[in-house]
Amino acid sequence: MSGKLEGRIALVTGAGTGLGSAIAEALAGEGADVVVHYRSSAAGAEEVAERIRRLGRRAATVRGDIGVSDDVRRMADEAFGAFGRVDVLVNNVGDMAANQMSWRELTPEAIDHTLDVDVKGTMLMTHEFGRRMLDDQQSGAIVNIGSRVVVEGSPRAPQYAAAKYAIIGITKSYAHALAPHVRVNTLGPGFVETPALLAREDWRSGRREAVLARTPLGRIPQAADVVPPIVFLASDDSRHITGAFLVCDGGHSMIGA
């Protein structure tokens, strides 16, 4: 680790489990103090916070539903109150409709849930934290976690693809609105072998092999494999990048210039 985020304060949503926990620990490894957000995984969030403290960094946990505006404002109050500022926000929370195996299973409830988490939640967090970054400190970096699904769509879960497309719109809009002091970018990972993906029925019955066959780099990444580009977008290494969408999927969905 090179201390790219030394002295910075970061908040990572959904950091009690999976990819979010790996992101939080990586930011701490680069020198950041971290606010670990969770909604239901309190024990996991506290374990992540303790691992961050063992790295010599400060850590706090904050609970809330990112789709509820009152919760988002309270979480911002707590985060800024605990550390005085927030320099990096990683909007990691998202719903990939893991239990839906076909577009034929689509329900109004499934649409509402996915859009509420991915679109409304990402927008509320970006708006509230971005506003404070701009007004209170005139600096900051926001990294939204999107998906490579925007390249090809999703015949399995169209609402998931729609939500991730919306995140690109949110990113570009706030990249303009918060410029020049706060940068906003999206990382589009492909399949990442988190516990949620490993538990999916289609992943255990041939989907993994099909994805591997179409991936030039020939492997499915672990959470730690997609963290470095997030650190890049959060750090000064990407100081002249905003409103961007960076694909990180081993070449699975190569796109033209």
First to last CA, the chain: 32
Residue 22 and residue 28 in contact, taking contact as beta carbons nearer than 8 Å = no
Q: How many CB atoms lie within 10 A of CB 131?
A: 15
Among 38, 160, 165, 174, the one annotated catalytic: 160
Q: Two tokens at 126? A: 């970006």
Q: Tell me the HSE value of 213 on the side-chain side, using a 13 A CA sphere.
A: 5
Rg (CA), the chain: 17
Cα dihedral 181, 26, 34, 6 in deg (nearest 10): -60
Is position 160 annotated as part of the catalytic site?
Answer: yes
Distance CA 100, CA 110 (A): 9
Residue 167 and residue 119 in contact, taking contact as beta carbons nearer than 8 Å = yes
**Which residues carry out catalysis?**
160
